[in-house]
Structure 1
Amino acid sequence: MSVTLNGQLLGRTHYATRAVLERELTALGLTFAQSLLLTAVAAAHGPIPGDQAVRRLVDGLKVDLATARGVLAELVDAALVSADADRVTITERGRSVQSRAAAAGAAIGARLWTDLSVDDVAATARVLETVRQRAEAALAAH
């Protein structure tokens, strides 16, 4: 079977793998966007400016600022992060949920990538990173 590497294949792959992950996230009470923002706040290992947290979601998902701020508000309402004086901090509950989400993501990745050769995975990563950088440059140029 011949496969053409193009945007459609990349998109279908993204949506298929994301759907697998979203099943796990839904069981944890998270959306995909919430999980990304929660992970960004957890990775900071301490309070971070709210604008910085929101910007990570804007840049990562290519959503507008209002949408990203809404996701942050959802995390605050769910007591997964706290926000005060323009600083965002992950709560103990948030760290627990984020840890379970990360474990689910790692398990999914292990299942989906397990029998691929190290060389194939490395080549794929290099190609995808190059395409991502080019797309980011194209977005920045407009």
Structure 2
Amino acid sequence: MTKEENAALKAVTIFLNSYSKKDIEGCLAVLTKSKPIMVLGTNDNEIFKTTKDVRAAFKKDFESMSDIRWGKRRNLYVKASPTLACVIVEMPVSYKNDEEKVKTLFRYALTLVKENEKWKICAGMASVPFSSGTYSF
């Protein structure tokens, strides 16, 4: 990976690590403050266009989730130009939801922009895929 690709991946890693620690401020620290944002969550009603919306969504997540643990990355794609980067990552996650243990797979597609020489997330999409053969269009 190039220096810029490593730096973009580092920003995403900070975001994911902050999420697993239920650290909302840590998550928000790697979101852009100078550009519009758009984040699509795993539910059809989760469309966030402001930092305030993202903060509220994470607060809601953390009210019912605990012991969040990311597994080893399965698939990773990182590309970066001097001012724009894309990170796509797939990894297992386990957590407790109201004391029920949950294990699933998460996929994130994130777009990052340069802001004061640091990579910041400006757009993203989270996905929880269905197992093969369990869903049809």
Shorter-chain TM range is under 0.3
Which structure shows the higher helix fraction? 1
Which structure shows the higher strand fraction? 2
User: What is the TM-score with the length of structure 1 in the denominator?
Assistant: 0.26
Give the number of the structure whose alpha-carbon radius of gyration is greater: 1
Q: RCO greater where, 1 or 2, for CA within 8 Å and sep 6 or more?
A: 2
